[in-house]
Amino acid sequence: MKITLCLFTVFCVSFTALSSYASFITYNNEASLRTASGLVDFQSFEALVPSDTGADFLTEVNTPEFKISTTQQFLQVWGNPPVSFAPDGNQVVFWYALTQGSVIFDSFGEGIYSFGLTITDWANYVEPGRNAELIFSNNIGDSHVIASTAVGLGDYNDIFFGVVSDTPFSSVTLTTTNNDGWVFFDKVYTGAPVPEPTTILLLGLGLLGISGLTRQKE
Protein backbone atom coordinates (compact mmCIF):
# COMPACT_ATOMS: atom_id res chain seq x y z
CA MET A 1 0.00 0.00 0.00
CA LYS A 2 2.84 2.36 0.91
CA ILE A 3 4.60 1.59 -2.37
CA THR A 4 1.41 2.24 -4.37
CA LEU A 5 0.77 5.50 -2.59
CA CYS A 6 4.38 6.58 -3.10
CA LEU A 7 4.30 5.79 -6.83
CA PHE A 8 0.99 7.61 -7.28
CA THR A 9 2.37 10.66 -5.47
CA VAL A 10 5.48 10.69 -7.65
CA PHE A 11 3.31 10.39 -10.77
CA CYS A 12 1.04 13.30 -9.79
CA VAL A 13 3.87 15.64 -8.88
CA SER A 14 5.95 14.63 -11.91
CA PHE A 15 3.04 15.07 -14.31
CA THR A 16 2.31 18.48 -12.83
CA ALA A 17 5.93 19.50 -13.27
CA LEU A 18 5.97 18.29 -16.86
CA SER A 19 2.66 19.96 -17.72
CA SER A 20 4.04 23.25 -16.47
CA TYR A 21 6.42 23.08 -19.40
CA ALA A 22 3.68 23.00 -22.02
CA SER A 23 5.70 25.67 -23.79
CA PHE A 24 4.12 27.78 -26.49
CA ILE A 25 0.43 27.57 -27.54
CA THR A 26 -1.09 29.81 -30.21
CA TYR A 27 -4.70 30.97 -30.62
CA ASN A 28 -6.59 32.49 -33.54
CA ASN A 29 -9.58 33.88 -31.65
CA GLU A 30 -10.07 36.10 -28.62
CA ALA A 31 -12.37 33.79 -26.67
CA SER A 32 -9.87 30.94 -26.66
CA LEU A 33 -7.00 33.18 -25.62
CA ARG A 34 -8.98 34.76 -22.78
CA THR A 35 -10.06 31.34 -21.51
CA ALA A 36 -6.48 30.08 -21.58
CA SER A 37 -4.85 33.17 -20.10
CA GLY A 38 -7.37 34.09 -17.41
CA LEU A 39 -7.08 37.63 -16.11
CA VAL A 40 -5.59 39.86 -18.78
CA ASP A 41 -4.90 43.53 -19.35
CA PHE A 42 -6.72 45.00 -22.33
CA GLN A 43 -5.67 48.01 -24.39
CA SER A 44 -7.56 49.45 -27.37
CA PHE A 45 -5.76 52.83 -27.49
CA GLU A 46 -8.92 54.83 -26.81
CA ALA A 47 -7.21 57.03 -24.20
CA LEU A 48 -4.26 58.00 -26.41
CA VAL A 49 -4.01 61.38 -28.11
CA PRO A 50 -4.48 60.95 -31.90
CA SER A 51 -1.39 61.65 -33.97
CA ASP A 52 -2.65 60.95 -37.46
CA THR A 53 -1.61 64.11 -39.29
CA GLY A 54 0.99 64.19 -42.01
CA ALA A 55 3.57 65.61 -39.60
CA ASP A 56 3.06 63.18 -36.71
CA PHE A 57 5.49 60.44 -37.70
CA LEU A 58 6.26 58.55 -34.48
CA THR A 59 8.95 55.97 -33.75
CA GLU A 60 7.11 54.76 -30.65
CA VAL A 61 3.68 54.78 -29.02
CA ASN A 62 3.41 54.43 -25.23
CA THR A 63 0.49 52.99 -23.24
CA PRO A 64 0.23 52.26 -19.50
CA GLU A 65 0.84 48.54 -20.18
CA PHE A 66 3.49 48.52 -22.91
CA LYS A 67 5.38 50.40 -25.60
CA ILE A 68 5.18 49.92 -29.39
CA SER A 69 8.20 50.93 -31.47
CA THR A 70 9.62 50.60 -34.96
CA THR A 71 12.86 51.56 -36.64
CA GLN A 72 11.44 51.27 -40.16
CA GLN A 73 9.15 54.05 -41.35
CA PHE A 74 6.72 55.18 -38.61
CA LEU A 75 3.74 54.74 -36.28
CA GLN A 76 0.66 56.89 -35.72
CA VAL A 77 -2.42 56.82 -33.49
CA TRP A 78 -5.49 57.11 -35.71
CA GLY A 79 -8.68 58.40 -34.12
CA ASN A 80 -9.44 61.89 -35.34
CA PRO A 81 -11.72 61.54 -37.21
CA PRO A 82 -12.96 58.28 -35.57
CA VAL A 83 -11.75 55.12 -37.30
CA SER A 84 -14.81 53.33 -38.65
CA PHE A 85 -13.03 49.99 -39.13
CA ALA A 86 -11.51 49.87 -35.61
CA PRO A 87 -12.22 46.44 -34.06
CA ASP A 88 -12.86 48.17 -30.73
CA GLY A 89 -13.80 51.81 -30.09
CA ASN A 90 -12.66 54.55 -32.46
CA GLN A 91 -8.86 54.42 -32.36
CA VAL A 92 -6.09 52.16 -33.68
CA VAL A 93 -2.31 52.24 -33.93
CA PHE A 94 -1.17 52.56 -37.54
CA TRP A 95 2.13 51.04 -38.66
CA TYR A 96 3.58 52.03 -42.00
CA ALA A 97 5.39 48.78 -42.81
CA LEU A 98 7.78 47.95 -45.62
CA THR A 99 9.31 44.63 -46.72
CA GLN A 100 11.04 42.84 -43.82
CA GLY A 101 9.84 45.60 -41.50
CA SER A 102 9.32 44.87 -37.81
CA VAL A 103 7.35 46.42 -34.98
CA ILE A 104 8.16 45.70 -31.33
CA PHE A 105 5.87 45.51 -28.29
CA ASP A 106 7.82 45.68 -25.03
CA SER A 107 8.15 47.43 -21.64
CA PHE A 108 5.76 44.89 -20.06
CA GLY A 109 7.22 45.38 -16.60
CA GLU A 110 8.14 42.06 -15.02
CA GLY A 111 7.24 40.07 -18.12
CA ILE A 112 4.06 38.47 -19.41
CA TYR A 113 2.89 34.92 -20.13
CA SER A 114 0.22 35.73 -22.71
CA PHE A 115 -0.16 38.16 -25.57
CA GLY A 116 -2.79 38.71 -28.23
CA LEU A 117 -3.97 41.37 -30.64
CA THR A 118 -6.10 42.12 -33.68
CA ILE A 119 -4.18 43.00 -36.86
CA THR A 120 -6.16 44.83 -39.55
CA ASP A 121 -5.39 45.32 -43.24
CA TRP A 122 -2.27 43.16 -43.40
CA ALA A 123 -1.44 42.00 -46.94
CA ASN A 124 -4.38 43.70 -48.59
CA TYR A 125 -2.14 43.61 -51.65
CA VAL A 126 0.62 41.08 -52.39
CA GLU A 127 3.11 41.60 -55.18
CA PRO A 128 2.83 38.99 -57.98
CA GLY A 129 5.19 36.10 -57.41
CA ARG A 130 5.71 36.87 -53.70
CA ASN A 131 4.50 34.83 -50.74
CA ALA A 132 3.81 37.22 -47.89
CA GLU A 133 4.28 36.14 -44.28
CA LEU A 134 3.48 37.79 -40.97
CA ILE A 135 5.76 36.41 -38.26
CA PHE A 136 5.57 36.49 -34.46
CA SER A 137 8.66 36.16 -32.29
CA ASN A 138 9.60 37.00 -28.72
CA ASN A 139 12.76 37.48 -26.68
CA ILE A 140 12.85 33.90 -25.35
CA GLY A 141 13.11 32.32 -28.79
CA ASP A 142 9.49 31.45 -29.60
CA SER A 143 8.37 32.13 -33.18
CA HIS A 144 5.30 31.42 -35.28
CA VAL A 145 4.03 32.33 -38.75
CA ILE A 146 0.78 34.15 -37.97
CA ALA A 147 -0.38 34.27 -41.58
CA SER A 148 0.93 33.40 -45.03
CA THR A 149 -0.61 34.30 -48.39
CA ALA A 150 0.28 34.60 -52.05
CA VAL A 151 -2.78 36.71 -52.85
CA GLY A 152 -4.13 39.94 -51.40
CA LEU A 153 -6.51 39.49 -48.47
CA GLY A 154 -8.64 42.53 -49.28
CA ASP A 155 -9.07 45.88 -47.56
CA TYR A 156 -9.55 46.00 -43.78
CA ASN A 157 -9.23 42.25 -43.23
CA ASP A 158 -8.84 41.27 -39.56
CA ILE A 159 -6.46 38.66 -38.16
CA PHE A 160 -6.47 37.76 -34.46
CA PHE A 161 -3.37 36.14 -33.02
CA GLY A 162 -2.61 35.16 -29.45
CA VAL A 163 -0.05 33.10 -27.56
CA VAL A 164 0.31 31.62 -24.09
CA SER A 165 3.76 30.59 -22.86
CA ASP A 166 4.90 28.70 -19.77
CA THR A 167 7.86 31.10 -19.52
CA PRO A 168 7.54 34.87 -19.09
CA PHE A 169 8.71 37.04 -21.98
CA SER A 170 9.40 40.77 -22.12
CA SER A 171 9.13 41.69 -25.79
CA VAL A 172 7.16 40.69 -28.89
CA THR A 173 8.23 41.36 -32.48
CA LEU A 174 5.93 41.24 -35.51
CA THR A 175 7.67 41.08 -38.88
CA THR A 176 6.14 41.29 -42.35
CA THR A 177 7.85 39.99 -45.47
CA ASN A 178 5.44 41.92 -47.68
CA ASN A 179 5.81 45.50 -48.89
CA ASP A 180 2.67 46.23 -46.95
CA GLY A 181 2.48 49.92 -46.25
CA TRP A 182 -0.65 49.90 -44.07
CA VAL A 183 -1.13 47.76 -40.96
CA PHE A 184 -3.33 48.57 -37.94
CA PHE A 185 -3.26 47.19 -34.38
CA ASP A 186 -6.09 47.11 -31.85
CA LYS A 187 -7.47 45.08 -28.91
CA VAL A 188 -4.14 44.06 -27.36
CA TYR A 189 -4.24 41.52 -24.51
CA THR A 190 -1.42 40.79 -22.05
CA GLY A 191 -1.42 38.68 -18.90
CA ALA A 192 -0.57 35.43 -17.13
CA PRO A 193 -1.97 31.93 -17.75
CA VAL A 194 -4.36 30.04 -15.51
CA PRO A 195 -3.21 26.48 -14.62
CA GLU A 196 -5.25 23.79 -16.37
CA PRO A 197 -7.85 22.06 -14.15
CA THR A 198 -6.13 18.69 -14.69
CA THR A 199 -2.83 20.12 -13.51
CA ILE A 200 -4.43 21.62 -10.38
CA LEU A 201 -6.19 18.31 -9.59
CA LEU A 202 -3.04 16.23 -9.99
CA LEU A 203 -0.98 18.66 -7.94
CA GLY A 204 -3.61 18.50 -5.19
CA LEU A 205 -3.65 14.69 -5.26
CA GLY A 206 0.14 14.65 -5.15
CA LEU A 207 0.18 16.93 -2.13
CA LEU A 208 -2.41 14.72 -0.41
CA GLY A 209 -0.24 11.71 -1.13
CA ILE A 210 2.78 13.40 0.40
CA SER A 211 0.68 14.31 3.42
CA GLY A 212 -0.42 10.69 3.74
CA LEU A 213 3.13 9.40 3.60
CA THR A 214 4.17 11.90 6.26
CA ARG A 215 1.39 10.72 8.59
CA GLN A 216 2.36 7.07 8.12
CA LYS A 217 5.97 7.84 9.05
CA GLU A 218 4.79 9.53 12.24
- 3-class secondary structure per residue, 83-98: CCCCCCCCCEEEEECC
Model confidence at 193, pLDDT cuts 50, 70, 90, reads low
Task: Count CB atoms within 10 A of the CB of residue 93.
Answer: 25
Separation CA 198–CA 67 (nearest Å): 35
Rg from Cα positions in the chain: 22
Q: Between vectors from CA 96 to CA 54 and to CA 131, what angle results, nearest 5°?
A: 150
Across the chain, mean pLDDT equals: 82
Neighbours of 33 (CB within 10 A): 24
pLDDT tens-digit map of 85-100:
999 999 999 999 888 8
The topology under which CATH files domain 23-195 is: Jelly Rolls (2.60.120)
* Lowest-confidence segment of 88-92, 101-105, 192-196 by average pLDDT: 192-196
Confidence of residue 168 (pLDDT cuts 50, 70, 90): very high
Taking the C-alpha atoms of residue 117 and residue 63, their distance in angstroms, rounded to an integer, is 14
> What pTM, to 2 d.p., does this model score?
0.79
pLDDT at 79 over 70: yes
Residue 16 has pLDDT above 60, yes or no: no
CA 177 to CA 1: how far, in whole Å? Answer: 61
**Overall average pLDDT of the 130-157 stretch:** 95
